[in-house]
Amino acid sequence: MIFESIDTHIPILGEAKIDSPLKTNMASFQTKRFISDEDRVLINVETKYFNEFCKSNTTPPSFEQAGPREKIYFDPSKLRCAIATCGGLCPGLNDIIRSIVLELYHCYNVRTVYGIRHGLQGFVPSYGHTTIDLTLDVVSGIQDTGGSILGSSRGTQDITTIVDCIERMNIGILFMVGGDGTLMASKKIAEEINNRGLKVSIIGIPKTIDNDIFLVSRSFGFDTAVDVATDAIKGAHNEASAYPNGIALIKLMGRHSGFLAATAALAQPDSNFVMIPEVDINLYGDNGFLQALENRVTKRTHAVVIVAEGAGQSFFENEKKEYDESGNLKLKDIGIFLKEKITDWFEKKNIDISLKYIDPSYIIRSLPANANDSVFCGFLGRDAVHAGMAGKTKLLISFWNNHYVHIPMDASAGKRKQIDPEGRLWQSVLEATGQEAFFND
């Protein structure tokens, strides 16, 4: 990554002049717990990188640290907030909603929080979606339920229409929970609001099981997804090892980045092959995957294969391209493709196999968050509220270098984080699976 060119400035709606209610609402709250805009977190903490700036007498690039400010911009007694969840489902969505509502209600005395139904569609009158008043009773216990109590949707909506609705509802802070497409929409909404001279804060909370949002070390739901994926790997290994020449093929999420497949393979080291979008797949020939799979089955009588959903898309280059409602390219099913190729390969070799195909994707994404993700969502939700109340806007809450920070939407939206094939994560996968040895047989 090239960090020198990143603009880390966070826009503000105006000067924060109101004393934070945290001083009086929480008796144990000490002044030292407030965060200053001068509190920063270095983007790159590597010694060699840091020393280069020291030699040049310049300050290394850094992000603004997230957390409560001593002065806030909005008057809580007159503030209306809204929350929208967009895109695919993900463990932790309800935790995020609950965390935001509880922080607004208990710590800032904000009593009006709207839940926008079905993502961006909820702002468009023609859909007819009603809003939900997110009271304490409504959010009670929702962290134990998967999905999103607000629902979701995909597809682009007219930005002007969305901002018209925000203006009519007199919303002061809008919390947008979603992936890259949502961040791009949030950025455009913030720009339209600025063009109209409105005082509305747009705060993004990044959501993706793929863990591929740029400048976000970890996204909520990923830890839960790894947990459930490891259970799938355990079951796959049991299925494969129970039969002569047993092969288990597992397809996990990961459209453009293989973080889930790679991490799950390390968490449950029963897999023998892992395929990710960042590394090309060669099917045929002496050094191809199918021959390597045969070598593994011949030597050990069984094999477990993990493939990320976005791997091997080059095999479908000549097929017609299709797009979803949000304009994203629809991926071809690499899982079914590999299942057919594996079956055909062994049939031609007259080798009997027992092949099991497992796709737990929709089970994973609709489950409640595990304990680690639930705690993580709490931090993200609270820091989102702190940022919005301080009048900051056009930012997303990120976890970076073990700190919660403010990332400008301009710096992250439209970019993607991927596995470095030469980096430690992928090299560790190769070591744990030993898959290279079977390519070299």
Shared domain for 213 and 226, answered yes or no, is no
User: Is 354 among the domain residues?
Assistant: yes
Q: Are 368 and 144 in contact (CB under 8 A)?
A: yes
Average pLDDT over residues 317-342: 86
pLDDT tens string 131-140: 999 999 999 9
- For residue 405, pLDDT over 80 is answered with yes
Shared domain for 316 and 380, answered yes or no, is no
Question: Domain range for residue 283?
Answer: 222-366+421-439
Q: How far is CA 110 from CA 76, 79, 132, 168, 205, in A?
A: 5, 7, 16, 19, 20
Name the band, by pLDDT with cuts 50, 70 and 90, for residue 1: very low
Q: Quote the pLDDT of residue 24.
A: 79
Percent of the chain topping pLDDT 90: 83
Shared domain for 174 and 287, answered yes or no, is no
Shared domain for 212 and 325, answered yes or no, is no
User: Is 27 among the domain residues?
Assistant: yes
Q: Identify the CA nearest to 211 among candidates 410, 64, 365.
A: 365
User: Is 127 among the domain residues?
Assistant: yes
Q: Are 431 and 437 in contact (CB under 8 A)?
A: no
Shared domain for 332 and 380, answered yes or no, is no
Shared domain for 143 and 194, answered yes or no, is yes
Shared domain for 234 and 355, answered yes or no, is yes
Q: Quote the pLDDT of residue 141.
A: 96
User: Is 98 among the domain residues?
Assistant: yes
- For residue 4, pLDDT over 70 is answered with no
Q: Are 404 and 379 in contact (CB under 8 A)?
A: yes
Measured between alpha carbons, how far is 228 from 225 in angstroms, rounded to an integer? 5
Shared domain for 90 and 167, answered yes or no, is yes
pLDDT greater at residue 26 or residue 273: 273
Shared domain for 282 and 139, answered yes or no, is no
- For residue 50, pLDDT over 70 is answered with no
pLDDT tens string 179-220: 999 999 999 999 999 999 999 999 999 999 999 999 999 999
User: Is 91 among the domain residues?
Assistant: yes
Shared domain for 393 and 312, answered yes or no, is no
Q: Quote the pLDDT of residue 255.
A: 93
Does the active-site annotation cover 144?
no
CATH number at residue 275: 3.40.50.460
* Chain mean pLDDT for the chain: 93
Candidates 180, 210, 223, 227; catalytic one:
210
pLDDT tens string 347-380: 999 999 999 999 998 889 989 999 999 999 999 9
Q: How far is CA 273 from CA 66, 262, 438, in A?
A: 40, 10, 9
User: Is 97 among the domain residues?
Assistant: yes
Provide the number of structural domains found in the chain: 2
Average pLDDT over residues 262-276: 97
CATH number at residue 125: 3.40.50.450
Who's near 72: CB < 8 A, 6+ residues apart? 16, 18, 19, 20, 21, 108, 389, 390, 391
Shared domain for 25 and 98, answered yes or no, is yes
Average pLDDT over residues 245-262: 97
Who's near 163: CB < 8 A, 6+ residues apart? 189, 192, 193, 196, 198
Q: Are 209 and 253 in contact (CB under 8 A)?
A: yes
User: Is 193 among the domain residues?
Assistant: yes
User: Is 335 among the domain residues?
Assistant: yes
- For residue 3, pLDDT over 80 is answered with no
Average pLDDT over residues 37-52: 82
Greatest mean pLDDT range, 31-40, 116-125, 147-156: 116-125
Q: Are 151 and 116 in contact (CB under 8 A)?
A: no
Provide the CA 65 distance to its chain's centre, in angstroms.
20
Shared domain for 67 and 145, answered yes or no, is yes
